[in-house]
Amino acid sequence: MITLTANATQEVKKLIEKEQKPDRALRISVKGGGCSGLSYLLAIDESAPKQYDQQFEQDGVKILVDAKSHLYLDGLTIDFKRNDLMGGGFEFQNPNAKKSCGCGTSFTA
């Protein structure tokens, strides 16, 4: 299961509205790279799941995760922090991460 905080849900809904296609979903995945080995990827994607996708829904936001990424992301909580100076960004609290980089966008599982 993947959880979005209220702030993250609100931000994702804004991003979907910008696309002007209400049938979109938040796709979450990981890829090799970053300071700690794996990096988080977020994208607004078509809401139709692909083969082997895990599908969740929270407060009207559809969330899609491919099966391989789900191994690293199960239990993940995503928050969105607003920062007047930097504009804010998504933050990841991943119980599967053994080590994270300082900026919090990559991890080791």
**Mind listing the domains of the chain with CATH numbers?**
3-108 (2.60.300.12)
Dihedral sign (CA 31, 37, 38, 39): negative
- Which tokens go with 4? 């979005």
* Residues of the chain above pLDDT 90, percent: 50
Asked if residues 45 and 64 have their Cβ atoms less than 8 Å apart, the reply is yes
Residue 21: predicted pLDDT: 83
| Average pLDDT, rounded, for the chain | 84
pLDDT digits (tens, 9 = 90+) for 17-40: 998 888 899 999 998 765 557 888
Positions of E strands within the chain: 3-4, 24-32, 38-46, 53-58, 61-66, 77-81, 89-93, 99-100, 106-108
> How far apart, in Å, are the Cα atoms of 27 and each of 62, 83, 87?
8, 24, 22
Residue 54: predicted pLDDT: 92
C-alpha to C-alpha distance for 51 and 91, rounded to whole angstroms: 28
Residue 37: predicted pLDDT: 73
pTM for this structure? Answer: 0.81
Count of alpha carbons within 13 angstroms of residue 75, beta-carbon side = 8
pLDDT above 90 for 42: yes
- Which tokens go with 6? 């209220």
Residue 88: predicted pLDDT: 75
